Chain A
């Protein structure tokens, strides 16, 4: 089992460029999340999805878009990257249920110049 896989793991962008981060999970999980982590801080929720075809905003959604066309994939898009979006991005997923454990990917480190 691969678990939660994020691609790419590293990326450098110029201001104004666009890109998409892909999160794939092979555990048939309904819930998927995108977080960002800035130096010395905890994780902040960007967007989430409670099932295929659904998405919703988290704490810090501005500048990001997401899509969940397939149950196993959750895409995070930056339409026009800004230096403030330099961060480490984590995808997570869990099954439906009262005490579903949250499984994380290994992170994607994004630098916007």
Chain B
């Protein structure tokens, strides 16, 4: 199973871009990269996902390197409400594990500073 490595914590000034890195060097060709965040002890919230190409939605942008061994989540204008734990997840294909397996690491605790 592919695993992810993220820095344990990061700070970001309010209004600035937050760039959260993730390494997934053992990712396989058909495994997607997902990003979720968890605010306090609430249920994780979906942010974005991608396979090969860069992706953008109303919340964030996802930049995946050409070799797919790492990715960066970008929150373009961080606000105090973006303070949360951010999880980079590799989703394992069901042909291997019997189901879509979302492998969570320990995430990055992002603190947005006023």
A interface, CB within 8 angstroms of B:
4, 31, 33, 35, 40-45, 48, 50, 56, 88, 90, 92, 94, 99-107, 109
Which residues of chain A come closer than 8 Å to B34, judged between CB atoms? 102
B41 adjacent to A107 (CB under 8 Å): yes
Chain B interfacial positions (CB closer than 8 Å to A) = 32, 34, 36, 41-46, 49, 87, 94, 98-102, 104-107
Contact A102 B102 (CB under 8 A): yes
CB contacts (< 8 Å) of A45 on chain B: these are 101-102
Could you tell me if A56 and B32 are in contact, using CB atoms closer than 8 angstroms?
A: no
Across the interface, do B42 and A48 meet the contact criterion of CB distance under 8 Å? no
Residues of chain A contacted by B101 (CB below 8 angstroms): 45
CB of B92 to closest CB in A, whole Å: 11
In the bound assembly, the distance between CA atoms of A71 and B41 in angstroms comes to 27
**Which A residues touch B102, using CB under 8 A?**
33, 45, 102
Could you jot down 23 A-B contacts, CB within 8 Å? A4-B43, A31-B99, A35-B104, A40-B106, A41-B106, A42-B106, A42-B107, A44-B104, A45-B102, A50-B94, A50-B98, A56-B99, A90-B43, A92-B43, A94-B100, A101-B49, A102-B36, A102-B44, A102-B102, A104-B43, A104-B44, A104-B45, A107-B43
Do A101 and B46 contact each other (CB < 8 Å), given the known contacts A42-B107, A44-B104, A56-B99? yes
- Residues of chain B within 8 A (CB-CB) of A107 are 41-43
